[in-house]
Amino acid sequence: MYLIGLTGGIASGKSTVATRLAEHGAVHIDADQLAREAVEPGTDALRQIAETFGPDVIAPDGTLDRPALGAIVFGNPELLQKLNTIVHPAVQQLTRHYIQQAEAHDPNAIVVYDVPLLVEARLPHRFNLIVVVNSADETRIERLIRHRGMTRSDAQKRVGSQVSEAERLAIADIVIDSDGTLAETLGQTDALWGRLVTLARASAG
- Ordered by where they begin, the domains of the chain are 1-26+109-205 (3.40.50.300), 35-107 (3.40.50.300)
Report residue 124's pLDDT band, with 50, 70 and 90 as the boundaries: low
Could you tell me the CA-to-CA distances from 17 to 45, 61, 113, 176 in Å, in that order? 30, 35, 12, 9
Burial zone of 38 (CB within 10 Å; 0-12 exposed, 13-18 middle, 19+ buried): buried
Residues 6 or more apart whose CB falls under 8 angstroms from that of 45 comprise 38, 39, 86, 87, 90
Q: Do residues 136 and 178 lie in contact, with contact meaning Cβ atoms separated by under 8 Å?
A: no
Bridge-based pairing state of the strands 129-134 and 110-114: unpaired
Q: How confident is residue 122, by pLDDT bands cut at 50, 70 and 90?
A: low
Average pLDDT, the chain: 92
Mean pLDDT (whole number) for 3-32: 95
Angle between helices 66-73 and 44-53 (to 10 degrees): 50
Q: Model pTM?
A: 0.87
Mutual angle of helices 66-73 and 77-105, in 10-degree steps: 130
Is the pLDDT assigned to residue 82 strictly greater than 90?
yes
